[in-house]
Amino acid sequence: MAAATRSPSHAQDHILAERKRREKLSQRFIALSSIVPGLKKMDKASVLGDAIKYVKHLQEKIKQLEEQTKKRTVESVVLVKRYHLPADDDSNSSSNDDDDSKSNVEKAGCCSDSTLPEIEARASERDVMIRIHCEKQPGVLAKVLTEVESLHLSIVNSSVMPFGNSTLDITIVAQVTN
C-alpha cells in the first residue's frame, strides 16, 4: 500500500524514461507545426487544432481534384465502353484482307497503348459533335456513321483524316432529330 516503486535506483529510470517520452512528444509537435502552413499560435492545442483543420482541408482538396480528373476522362470514354464498336459480322469485311500486309504489323506496333479509341463528345443546343481518334480500319467510318444515325442523330458534316501511319481522326457534327 505504502510504497509501490521501491528501489530508489530504478526510480530515476522512471524519471529518465518519462523525460525522454516528453522530449519525443515535443519533437513531434515541432515537426507537425513545421509542416502546417499559416500557423499563428504555436501552443500545443492550437497546433493540434490547426493540424486537424488542415488535414480536413487537404482531404477535401484531394477529393475535388480526383473527381475533376475522373470526369475529364469518363466523359470521353463512357461511350466507348457502352458501344464498343460492334465486331465485324459482315461477310465482306475480308475483302481488304490481302490489301497491305505491312499495315497489320503497324497496327500492333504503333499506338499500342490501349487508350485508343478516344471518343470525345460535346453538345450545344441541338448540335452534337463527336470526335474519334482510333486505329485505321477499313469500314470504321461507315460503322460509326451508322451507329450515330441510329441514335436520333442526323449527320450534318463529317471528316476523316489519316494521322500517322495507323490512326484516323474522325470528326462528326450531327443534330438531334425530333
Question: How would you label 5-25 residue by residue, b for 16+ Cβ within 10 Å and e otherwise?
Answer: eeeeeeeeeeeeeeeeeeeee
**Contact call for residues 121 and 82 (beta carbons, < 8 A):** no
Residue 117 to residues 23, 84, 120, 133, 152, Cα–Cα distance (Å)? 59, 9, 10, 5, 23
- Shortest Å distance, C-beta 32 to its own copies: 5
When asked if residue 101 is in the footprint of its own copies (CB under 8 A), the reply is no
When asked if residue 52 is in the footprint of DNA (CB under 7 A), the reply is no
Site track 39-78 with its own copies (rule: CB under 8 A), x = hit: -----xx--xx-xx-xxx-xx-xx--xx-xx--x------
Q: Of DNA, its own copies, none, which one sits near residue 151, judging by CB under 5 to 8 A according to partner kind?
A: none
When asked if residue 17 is in the footprint of DNA (CB under 7 A), the reply is yes
What is the spatial distance between Cα 14 and Cα 20, in angstroms, rounded to a whole number?
10
What is the spatial distance between Cα 56 and Cα 36, in angstroms, rounded to a whole number?
12
Pick 46 or 59: Cβ nearer DNA: 46
In the three-class reduction of DSSP (H, G, I as helix; E, B as strand; rest coil), residue 102 is classed as: helix
Residue 73's nearest CA partner among 120, 33, 143, 38 is 120
Pick one of 80, 85, 141, 173: the residue that binds its own copies (CB under 8 A): 173
Interface region with DNA, contact rule CB under 7 A, candidates 4-12, 114-122, 157-165, 170-178? 4-12
**Contact call for residues 153 and 177 (beta carbons, < 8 A):** yes
Binding footprint of its own copies on the chain (CB under 8 A): 21, 24-25, 28-29, 31-32, 35-36, 44-45, 48-49, 51-52, 54-56, 58-59, 61-62, 65-66, 68-69, 72, 106, 110-111, 122, 124-125, 127, 129, 131, 157, 159, 161-165, 167, 169, 171, 173
